[in-house]
Structure formats: C-alpha cells, structure tokens
Structure 1
Amino acid sequence: MKIRKLVSMDASAYIELRLEALRDTPEAFSSSYEEEKDYPIEQTANRLDDVNSTTFGAFADGNLIGVVTLVPDTRIKIRHRAHIFAMYVTPNFRRTGAGKALIAKAVKQAKENGTEQLYLAVTASNQPAKKLYQSFGFTTYGVDKNALKIEDTYYDDELMVLFL
C-alpha cells in the first residue's frame, strides 16, 4: 500500500471514490451524493491542487482505495489548529491498515506544518472510526446532537481533538 498527496491528475479517481463514500456511508459526511454527483471535474482538480489543504490517498495495486483531507486554519489567531475531513476507506480495504496509514500521514503533515491542535468530527455510532482516532490520541470534547438528518433519522457527531 502506498500513501501520497493527491494532485489534479487524481481528480477522476478521487471523484469515483468520493461518490462511493457518499453512497456507502451517507451518515459520515455532511455532503450528499445528490449534491456532489454533478460537480465538474475541474472543481475537484482545483481543490486537490489548493495550497490551503492537502488530500492524501491510499493506493493498492495502483487503485485509490482511501482518502483523508487535512485543512489548516489560516487566520492569525487560530492558525495553530487544523482539521481532518472526508476520511474514507473503501469497504474491501477496511481493517487492512489503510485508515491507520492515512491518519498517520495526516498527523505527521500537521506536525510538520506546526499545527498544535488537530480536530475532526465522527459519527457517534461509528465505533471502528472512533477506535482508530482514539488509537492516535484523539479525545472527545463534545457531541453535536442531531448533527445530520437523513430523511427522518438524526445522527450525532462526536467532536474530537488531538493535541500535538
């Protein structure tokens, strides 16, 4: 397995995996498949080349099988903080170390950027993801009740932080 920063050339593979994620685990993302399915590839390509965020991809046999995005805060008073977004590993590659490798890469990059506090939100009922984040030292500092509503079902988000 290889972990590397995604660039604009990876946009097509990223979109394919992102849409899979939105269909597979809609409760894990604030965006929806319906909102993102028609995004132009140029928009994704530009986002992958954006200097204000870094998206890492996990590859197995040359195929993109997982992603995570690291977004540092840029405003003066909060630039000691960063956020992890859009974490996803395709079901066939869960429990293979892909998720752990992606989070390790994001944490390493955050440290190199001088980040002191790393934040993320995880669906409160997603025990495997919470266990992964806790293994890196993330702790829960709050719960966003009814953070998402999908049809008639509400989902809570646990808010987690890692002090680097």
Structure 2
Amino acid sequence: MDNIPGLQIRRLQVSDAALYRDIRLEALQKNPEAFGSMFEKESAEPLSWFEARLGTADIFAAFLDRTLVGIAGYSAQENLKQAHKGRLWTMYVRAAVRNMGLGKSLVAAVLDHARGRVELVQLTVVSENESARKLYRAMGFVEYGYEKKALKHNGRYYDEVLMVNFLDPQQQKETHR
C-alpha cells in the first residue's frame, strides 16, 4: 500500500461519534447520489444515534495528521445462509485529499478486517463514478451485476454497479471459468 506520511487508519470508537457525524453528513451533502440515506434524515438525528451506529458497526477511518479525512464501513450478513458475505459501505474521502491513495488504504483495511470472517465482500457503486469503480477494480473487486434506477435523488435516477471481492484467490479463479 502507498506510504502516506501522517496517515493512520483505525476503527472508529463510540467516543468518535462527533467526528463520524461530521464526515458522514458532509458525504451525504456533497455526494447525495452515492448513498442510500439522505442528509435531511441523518442531520436530524441526535449524536446518540451516531454513537449507537459506531457501537454496532465496523467503520474504519483515515486520519491524515490527526484530521479525519475518510471513512469506510464494513458489515457482515447476519442471516445464517448469508453469513459468508460481508459488505463494504459508506465509503467517502474528502475532496481535498482525494487521489493520494487514502481510498486504497481504507479499502485495504476493510478487506484485511473481513479476511477470516467472511468469504467475500460485496459493494454497490453509482455507475457514473468511474474513479471509484477503478479503485475497487484495483483492489480486486469484479463487477457482477447492474441495477437500473437503484437510487433516485431530486427526480433523477442513478444506476448502481454490483461488485464483489472473493477473499480466497482460488475462489476468484473458479468464478471466472
């Protein structure tokens, strides 16, 4: 992974709720087409709602010189028949520090966390977000589906690409036969 001076990747704790709330609301406000939730909904939630979320979710954060600059969430399926699958969600890097390798570092942290817990990690990404799709492909994700009109924001529809990373390289090879 890129060696970025001053970079620390760690899982957010409940005590980080105010920081998490700030970056989450920024993400929803600046890139509303990329998320299933809405700024209007989450900005009305009290800090305790964000604390609860951090208490039950694995949300990784990128800190650059101790400033929170990116987040990526991970969750595993709870249904027994789907417990072999994890999900990468709420990926966001602040615009001022994009294209520095922070996204790769966050995705790598999620994948490292998922290894040994699940067999594969899935995600969805807005089809028009080519830079994110390129990042995910570089991190071993492959496209396996396309959902038309997956999201609707301000009267406009957004399609989503479904992607998966098989954490076992042998499984990845078998899937492409």
Match of 2:77 in 1: 73
Structure number with greater Rg is 2
Return the alpha-carbon distance in structure 2 between the equivalents of residues 62 and 137 of structure 1. Answer: 29
Quote the offset at 1:150 in angstroms.
1.2
Q: Does 1:97 pair with 2:129?
A: no
Q: Distance in 1 between matches of 2:42 and 2:49?
A: 11
Distance, in Å, in 1 between the alignment partners of 2:124 and 2:19 is 25
Q: What is the root-mean-square deviation in Å for CA atoms of aligned residues? A: 0.8
TM-score after normalising by structure 2: 0.89
User: Could you tell me how far 1:162 is from its partner in structure 2?
Assistant: 0.8
Q: Which residue of structure 2 aligns with residue 43 of structure 1? A: 49
Percent identity over the alignment?
39
Gap runs ≥5 in structure 2 = 1-6, 168-177
Instruction: State the match for 2:129 in structure 1.
Output: 126
Aligned residues: 161
TM-aligned CA deviation for residue 112 of structure 1: 3.2
**C-alpha separation in 2, matches of 1:40 and 1:29:** 20
Residue identity in the other structure for 1:33: F
Question: Which residue, 150, 154, 158 being the options, matches 2:161?
Answer: 158
The normalised TM-score by structure 1 is 0.95
CA distance, structure 2, for counterparts of residue 58 and residue 112 of structure 1: 23
Runs of 4+ in 1 over 3 A off after TM superposition: none
Q: In structure 1, which of residues 5, 18, 22 is the aligned counterpart of residue 11 of structure 2? A: 5
- Alpha-carbon separation, structure 1, partners of 2:71 and 2:82: 25
